[in-house]
Amino acid sequence: MKKFLVLLFLIIVGCGYTTRGFVYTQSTIIIKPVINNIDISSENRKYSDYTSFPILIENRLTNEIVSKFNIEGNLKVVSEDPNALVLVCTVNDYSRDTLRYNNADEVDEQRLRLNTHIKLTDGDGKILQEKSVSGEATYYLEDPNTNSNDGVVVRRSESAAQLDLIDDTARRICEAVTEEW
């Protein structure tokens, strides 16, 4: 019985799953302000059904990326260090897609998607990683748990869903840099 308990203890203590695939020798990172490459005056945008565009999304994404790296903790965010990694991120597209219609052919659920491109370089400018990263968030225009007969409709705005979108995109960017799968 003692051997069983000792073995059980060792298995529980010894099985430490981690996603730390950290491969960089540097311990600091400089996060450049996110660049917004979305052309809202293009021909495609002019006739789209957008009711809103995320104003200053690049600033909010920059702040959230810094926050995610601070929470993750493998890389310390600094403003200057000649040996630090440098992360450059550009926002290339913001889209809103319909996922579901209700019985009256009105939009019930939508997905927001933010497409970005990241480039990670070392202090000498050598590219260590370059890839596209997308974040997304879905939201209901009406609460799906409400009964249409009771007259109570809970709506969620697109701007509220944008906060989830920015959070998801920043999380995915942080994971792309710090985890090697």
Answer yes or no: is pLDDT of 133 > 90.
Answer: yes
pLDDT digit string, tens, across residues 50-99 = 546 677 888 999 999 999 989 988 888 898 888 888 899 999 888 888 77
Tell me the CATH number for domain 24-178: 3.30.160.150
pTM: 0.75
pLDDT digit string, tens, across residues 18-58 = 555 557 778 888 889 998 887 766 555 555 555 466 778 88
Output the 3-class SS for the chain: CHHHHHHHHHHHHHCCCCCCCCCCCCCEEEECCCEECCCCCCHHHHCCCCCCCCCCHHHHHHHHHHHHHHHHCCCEECCCCCCCEEEEEEEEEEEEEEEEECCCCCEEEEEEEEEEEEEEECCCCCEEEEEEEEEEEEEECCCCCCCCCCCCCCCCCHHHHHHHHHHHHHHHHHHHHHCCC
